[in-house]
């Protein structure tokens, strides 16, 4: 193909994409787009990453744009021991709200593949069970996710997906979660601390830990239940956190909130390019819904820790 052939080909492609898009893009009023904003919450970080709140974006528009790219969203979920009981609700509600119309590939890490419920998935959506050993400590299960995550991205997902989300299984979807959440590196504001002064963030405060964040530092407190982004970026995050967790383990120190503490340390020095508001990480225990939260999209269900965890 000569240069001019290639150029003509690109122009044709561009034309096809534009005409396919234009119909859908015209489906809403332009004034809505021009005035889309919120004044009651911060919608951008000091490093100009969007903070995704309801009312700051047009879901159909964003989904339409990203659908042109024919993306696959890998979604990794751990369900070890008694946590397999959360899978049915997680999957059933994900099929109602999560990346509808996109190719989604769930990877379920579990010690009991036979206990994965048969949930009907929409076309273009698949589920792969991955057998891993159980553990007698819940802390070990949650922090080992980083190791598994970097392994599976390197060995498998780079061939199978474009973006990844790692999500807690003790959760349910209640509202739209689509392409507005995509970005190079994505974190979610923990619902318990998004209005707190950073001196109250439960960062790891012991200098002996690799997750240590000194007083007077820190942007936000991110929840460990939602991590997302491009495969390469999440690989770097998972690999770094795994290495830091190993160093801590060799000194017999476990950070205050296990991998969540290391995640917060990582995000302090590697800023997310997009931040999800607590709409994307709510907790049913917080039954009071403040005014700024217009919609709850994904929430941690109430669980009896003593009944589901292998240890206190």
Ligand X SMILES: CC(=O)N[C@H]1[C@@H](OP(=O)(O)OP(=O)(O)OC[C@H]2O[C@@H](n3ccc(=O)[nH]c3=O)[C@H](O)[C@@H]2O)O[C@H](CO)[C@H](O)[C@@H]1O
Which residues would be at the binding site for ligand X (CB under 6 A)? Answer: 78-81, 83, 138, 141-142, 168-170, 190, 223-225, 257-260, 281, 300, 309-310
Residue 259 touching Mn ion (CB under 5 A): no
- 285 belongs to an annotated ligand binding site: no
Mask for 154-183, x = binds Mn ion (CB under 5 A): --------------x-x-------------
Q: Decide if 95 is catalytic.
A: no
Q: Which does 259 bind (CB under 5 to 8 A by kind): Mn ion, ligand X, none?
A: ligand X
Write a three-state SS string for the chain. CCHHHHHHHHHHHHHHHHHHHHHHHCCCCHHHHHCCCCCCCCCECCCCCEEECCCCCCHHHHHHHHHCCCCEEEEEEEECHHHHHHHHHHHHHHHHHECCCCEEEEEEEECCHHHCCCCCCCCCEEEEEEECCCCCCHHHHHHCHHHHHHHHHHHHHHHHCCEEEEECCCEEECCCECHHHCCCEEEEECCCCCCCCHHHCCCECCCCCCCECCCCCCCCCEEEEEEEEEHHHHHHHHHHHHHHHHHHHHCCCCCCCHHHHHHHHHHHHCCCCEEECHHHCEECCCCCCCCCCCCCCEEECCCCHHHHCCCC
- 301 belongs to an annotated ligand binding site: no
- For ligand X, give the closer residue by CB, 140 or 292: 140
- 97 belongs to an annotated ligand binding site: no
- 169 belongs to an annotated ligand binding site: yes
- For Mn ion, give the closer residue by CB, 63 or 170: 170
Other residues' Cβ atoms within 10 Å of the Cβ of residue 32: 10
Cα within 13 Å of Cα(278), Cβ side: 21
Q: Which does 80 bind (CB under 5 to 8 A by kind): ligand X, Mn ion, none?
A: ligand X
- For Mn ion, give the closer residue by CB, 130 or 301: 301
Minimum Å gap between C-beta 118 and ligand X is: 20
- 40 belongs to an annotated ligand binding site: no
- Of 122, 78, 127, the C-alpha closest to 102 is 122
Minimum Å gap between C-beta 234 and ligand X is: 15
- For ligand X, give the closer residue by CB, 101 or 310: 310
Minimum Å gap between C-beta 83 and ligand X is: 4
Tokens describing residue 121: 């998935």
- 288 belongs to an annotated ligand binding site: no
- For Mn ion, give the closer residue by CB, 203 or 257: 257
Catalytic residue among 54, 254, 259, 260: 260
Minimum Å gap between C-beta 305 and ligand X is: 7
Minimum Å gap between C-beta 183 and ligand X is: 18
Residue 260 touching Mn ion (CB under 5 A): no
Binding site for Mn ion (CB under 5 A): 168, 170
List active site positions.
260
Binding-site residue set: 78-80, 83, 168-170, 190, 260, 284
Binding-site residue set for UDP-N-acetyl-alpha-D-galactosamine: 78-80, 83, 168-170
């Amino acid at each position: 193909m000569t240069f001019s052939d290639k150029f003509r080909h690109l122009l044709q492609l561009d034309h096809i994409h534009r005409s396919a898009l234009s119909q859908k893009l015209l489906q809403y009023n332009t004034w809505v787009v021009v005035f889309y904003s919120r004044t009651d919450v911060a919608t951008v970080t000091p490093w100009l990453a969007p903070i995704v709140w309801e009312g700051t974006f047009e879901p159909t528009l964003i989904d339409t744009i990203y659908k042109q790219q024919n993306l696959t969203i890998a979604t990794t979920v751990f369900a070890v021991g008694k946590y397999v009981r959360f899978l049915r609700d997680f999957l059933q509600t994900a099929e109602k709200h999560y990346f509808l119309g996109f190719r989604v590939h769930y990877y379920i890490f579990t010690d009991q593949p036979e206990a994965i419920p048969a949930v009907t998935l929409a076309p273009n959506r698949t589920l792969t069970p991955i057998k891993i050993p159980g553990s007698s400590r819940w802390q070990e299960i949650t922090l080992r996710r980083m190791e598994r995550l970097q392994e599976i991205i390197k060995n498998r997902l780079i061939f199978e997906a474009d973006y990844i989300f790692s999500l807690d299984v003790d959760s349910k979807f209640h509202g739209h979660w689509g392409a507005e959440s995509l970005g190079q590196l994505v974190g979610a504001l923990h619902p318990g601390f998004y209005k707190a002064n950073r001196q109250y963030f439960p960062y790891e405060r012991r200098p002996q830990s690799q997750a240590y964040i000194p007083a007077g530092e820190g942007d936000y407190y991110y929840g460990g239940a939602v991590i997302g982004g491009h495969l390469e970026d999440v690989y770097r995050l998972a690999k770094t956190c795994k290495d830091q967790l190993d160093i801590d383990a060799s000194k017999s120190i476990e950070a205050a909130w296990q991998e969540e503490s290391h995640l917060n340390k990582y995000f302090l020095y590697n800023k997310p390019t997009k931040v999800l508001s607590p709409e994307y990480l709510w907790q049913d225990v917080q039954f009071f819904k403040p005014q700024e939260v217009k919609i709850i999209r994904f929430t941690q269900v109430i669980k009896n820790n003593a009944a589901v965890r292998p240890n206190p």
